[in-house]
Amino acid sequence: MDLKFPIAEQPDAAELERARLLFASGAEFLKGVVAMSGLPDADRGEVCFAGRSNVGKSTLINALTGRRALARASNTPGRTQEINFFTLTDALYLVDLPGYGYANAPVDVVAKWQRLLKSYLTGRQTLRRAFVLVDHRHGAKAVDEEIMSLLDRAAVTFQVVMTKADKVKQADRAAALETTRKVLARHPAAYPEIIVTSSESGDGIGQLRSVIAQFA
């Protein structure tokens, strides 16, 4: 029986190598943006990473690029308070969005960067795909659905990336995946495959690189 929102299949060796070479060719921090007027020129495609605070966006970007400290990661939820742009050669922007949901910051600060996040997702014409990161220990939650619904309305295709798979026992993985699949079934902008990753073990990193490389 066909499974809705299956785990994406592993690309072939040649595709994995092409993607590895692209990411190995150089990724650099470009700028942090606190207002839409500060966005870089829309002169190339871009992909963004969205997710709850402390879901591991910055850590995942570091794993993808092989640069341990390219994106600032912290155990303190809400540290990323701006839209951070990274260049992947001259072919693509990688965009680290501020975390949503709980954040260790004043309410007015949280509200400001949440407005910025929503303005970016609905107004950036060169955005090719949003990757919505979901903690594999918990599955998709109501706060994730808020962003998914926003992406539905903006007609921006999004794909779920399960993070921290190494922290989930094999016996517990199916439950989190099932929860996430039920959520995704309600969202027309959802890409019909899930990518499972671990920044610690490297699982799924090559696979995600291959997906991103198609937009370069």
Starting at the edge strand that comes first in sequence, how are the strands of the sheet with 195-196 ordered? 27-33, 83-88, 92-96, 45-51, 127-135, 158-163, 195-196
Could you tell me if 24 and 215 are in contact, meaning their C-beta atoms sit under 8 angstroms apart? no
Task: Please state which of the ranges 54-58, 105-109, 187-191, 210-214 shows the lowest mean pLDDT.
Answer: 105-109
Please indicate, yes or no, if residue 157 is contained in any of the structural domains: yes
Total of domains in the chain: 1
- The two tokens of residue 176 are 């989190």
Query: What pLDDT, in 10s, does the model give residues 34-59?
Result: 899 999 999 999 999 999 888 999 89
- Domain extent at residue 92: 13-213
CATH code: domain of residue 176: 3.40.50.300
Three-state secondary structure readout of the chain: CCCCCCECCCCCHHHHHHHHHHHHCCEEEEEEECCHHHCCCCCCEEEEEEEECCCCHHHHHHHHHCCCCCCCCCCCCCCCCCEEEEEECCCEEEEECCCECCCCCCHHHHHHHHHHHHHHHHHCCCEEEEEEEEECCCCCCHHHHHHHHHHHHHCCCEEEEEECHHHCCHHHHHHHHHHHHHHHCCCCCECCCEEECCCCCCCCHHHHHHHHHCCC
Residue 6, in any domain of the structure? no
135 domain residue, yes or no: yes
142 belongs to a structural domain? yes
In a domain, 182, yes or no: yes
Average pLDDT, the chain: 89
Per residue in 96-150, pLDDT tens?
A: 988 877 556 677 877 777 788 888 988 899 999 999 999 999 999 998 998 999 8
Within a domain: residue 2? Answer: no
**pLDDT interval class at 77 (50, 70, 90):** very low
Q: Is the pLDDT of residue 2 over 60?
A: no
76 pLDDT above the threshold of 50: no
122: tokens are 């609905």
Dist. CA 189–CA 67, nearest whole Å = 31
